[in-house]
Structure 1
């Protein structure tokens, strides 16, 4: 995965100092500073705070206030440009990009935006000229090269486009480039080459929905419906669901050409920005991810999957209103419309109104009873609300339609097992955990949950210990799983080992009330009564829902009952 480090705020402040703005004085000596300097720095610092929160429109306004007061300062102008880009105001971003280039000719992102605007406006020669100024050694340079290739397709020069992509591939990005060369060949009318390249991309990673969709479309458009159906069947057999891929089943089954994956130069370039933007966001570069997705949305505003990805990223940053606005743009006839409705309901939950979110999800589920994602998210939301039996019912709506269950379906049995266990329906829960392990034998969470529950019930202790030890081996930095191992040793009377392991668990999760309570019990049995009292006190202090407090308070007052079974 490509990773581009975000520019730290302290570097921006250093840049401000180098530009001649007396930063320290703006805090300590505002009364002796000229008002113009003080207010300029105030706008700039407020803009930094706003952009950190992805409040891009407010940030753009604040940075522009600073830039207008000090028009030749490249820091203020570059930040205003970035804020406009993050806000999706590409017109204003392009205006500021030109000014940024006037001040800092080597600014790569500014050239990328101006080149993308030229591509959008079908000024392909201008796009090529602007983007060729970006060195191809950086991530932005790689993106610029791919968009340059698309500009060559716009000029009907696919040979030049492939020559550019070949140079990018030599930098170690050949797997990434194969897929985009396939799309480029498809838009350029080179059907056989497009199918061959798409097949290569598909064989490298057959479970990526966008790659599978493109390959299926290319095969279907060439009349190779049996091969397209085989790809659809392979996708389904792995338990991978995606509404856009699923929407191709009917036309392929009926021998209908499904249409191009990318219908234009602009949508082809947008796909590249979409893929990299989502990858960067997953890797922690949220601002860059939003910026690239906003640029992708500008190039191809009708592509619903870009809107969904952008909305999800904004929602993850707490920008629920902006995310809602984007989700609502997904048209009713899009295969992703239900996904957009679900995301709107999830945002209601994230705002703090879980009951309203559940009600909305239930309505969506009634209208879409066969939609696995809807039922799964409804189950998750009910589980978070501790409405255990209703959660199990929602998961059952998914499980009842699994024929047969596939390896990726393990999660539905696992979370239904949790719901049944919390609803005190242990026989059903145990059966679900065992089924989840049958589908995914080595998943540490399932091994841990079933093993810990057996330990807590005092049954199957040796088997439970083996399962938890396997889970720890698979996930050694997971404090909850390490806690389970310590508790298993405790239940088996292996106190010295229990102390050692539970101390490790507390070091991994030092403020978890359950783990602190467990360590207190083990210390007490080990004769370390003062340390036990200390751990129980911590458990009570950090307990938020009261369950551990109710259990630990009597022990804090009287110690462990010497006549109680060990671990109770």
Structure 2
């Protein structure tokens, strides 16, 4: 489970200095860090809840046959088929062990109705069961039943049952705004006496933090901490610290976390933000001291150390990041790729690009593709763009080839090296000839390079495999329309594409331009206007404006071109069309420039 505090930390505090770091850190937040607390979403096997006494020994003699039949149904046909049989037995016997078994079956079935029925039965027999209240709370919150949540919490308080489950569940669903709102509404309608419950107050403070009411969250947290008989949980200190930090009160936030760490010196959820806050407050050496002095077990040291490296790199402290890497345990529990990734970034920040590339080349696993993309960028920075393709092809696993090659192909094109992009696609298709994604990209790039015969060949190969694909049909039709005199053949492909995707602006544009090429100008304008209304794209504007121009609707054409120029002033087709048909408009636009 990732807590709200982790979410706020990652989404509202971090501000990487460059776009490249934003990409890097987004990847690392998801791929590197161990969760602050864990939540197992896998379904457990159905087993008796009590191992001391077999469940069948707790069932009355008269019901043993029914129990065995129900158990047989459960094992053979699953929880959904067995639930009603178990419910009948449990409700008749009011046997708590059997009711717990029933609830377990309801949870495994993931059927909210079953969970609610079983927890209702449980609470009717034992109205003090915290586990039953917790499970029913989840059902009610997911169903947006705030009034019933209020009733449930009130009943739990009346039976002197701890509401510890309430703030825990709030942390668990913090990314779900609907569930958070339901909990907030339920708390708001509790009686004044119920609102004095410490776990209700903790949840309320958490909600104040989430809603950006930081001073109110601080006041609520301090009030709870000052009360002698309340649980001083890590969540309470974290709510206070993040509220202080979000108001710019770094030193107060750091003191809060230091106080909390005295009670739980090995707690990763406390140490991680403490170290982060120190770095953000321009005290990286002090943060390093905190990390080095923490007497942590290997898993926690790796978790906190990786996050510390990431934070240091965000704030351009590569030397400390490398020192931190050297302090990490040698047994890295499957996290060596993440550490090497960050080490490479640190070396690059120190302008040691050759070492950075060598280190990044050792990164495997989930970060392999990201490492390859980063290496490509560094090779470009080093003026070694001609080495990119071999590196990509050598590093990329077969199953990742389409996505990785497409990404590097786009990088080449952004850098103005279309020939390298085309070369990469050619080599990738030799290794993976069945990839339609790569073949289609090669076909489009070949047309851009003027190799339209290659485009025709590749698109026909694709159409042999997928003859009804509207994108393939349109691409082939448009290529023939603009590159050859085979207009009727081109229109057959385009019209076939239109039949299959009559709301695709690219296909509609092709159809309209085809009619223009045939001299059917009214038809042309009809379809080009439709395309423009769906997607006011610069190339569509060039076609639509030219069709209007040929019909002497000069003002309308100029208005369309001007509108497109506002959003896409550098589109070659649009500029060429205007220069060819209305050079005075270009002169006018040049004069209007400041």
- State the TM-score, normalizing by the size of structure 1: 0.41
**TM-score relative to the length of structure 2:** 0.39
Report which of the two structures shows the higher radius of gyration computed on alpha carbons. 2
